[in-house]
């Protein structure tokens, strides 16, 4: 199985085959997840000191904090897999 990587900002990349969810950090359940993951040492902070705009949940329980929006991450995943976005257009990654 090949590992597909996508850029999530500031020189950071993540294996998209390990991501099970991409969520916004503003909801109370997500904030609770992040707090619990910090206590357990399961946070991977890839924000480079910026504000967290997306939380990526991995298949092994780690939470990855990203400084790009969930829509941007989802668009990059779709582009890398060659699937159309909401408008039906395939986004080309540059």
pTM listed for this prediction? 0.84
Res 67: pLDDT: 97
Q: Which residues contact 12 (CB under 8 A, 6 or more apart)?
A: 46, 48, 66
Please, which pLDDT band fits residue 82 given cuts at 50, 70 and 90? confident
Q: Residue range 42-53: average pLDDT?
A: 97
What are the pLDDT digits (tens) for 6-31? 999 999 999 999 999 999 999 999 99
Whether residue 88 is predicted with pLDDT greater than 80 in this model: the reply is: no
Q: Which residues contact 13 (CB under 8 A, 6 or more apart)?
A: 5, 6, 7
Q: Residue range 62-87: average pLDDT?
A: 88
CA distance 43 to 37: 6
């Amino acid at each position: 199985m090949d590992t597909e990587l996508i850029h999530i900002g500031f020189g950071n990349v993540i294996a998209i085959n390990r991501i099970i969810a991409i969520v916004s950090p503003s909801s109370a359940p997500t904030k609770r997840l992040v707090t619990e993951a910090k206590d357990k040492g399961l946070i991977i902070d890839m924000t480079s000191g910026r504000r967290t705009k997306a939380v990526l949940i991995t298949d092994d329980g780690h939470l990855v904090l990203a400084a790009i929006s969930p829509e941007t991450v989802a668009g990059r995943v779709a582009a890398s897999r060659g699937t159309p976005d909401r408008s039906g257009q395939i986004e080309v990654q540059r």
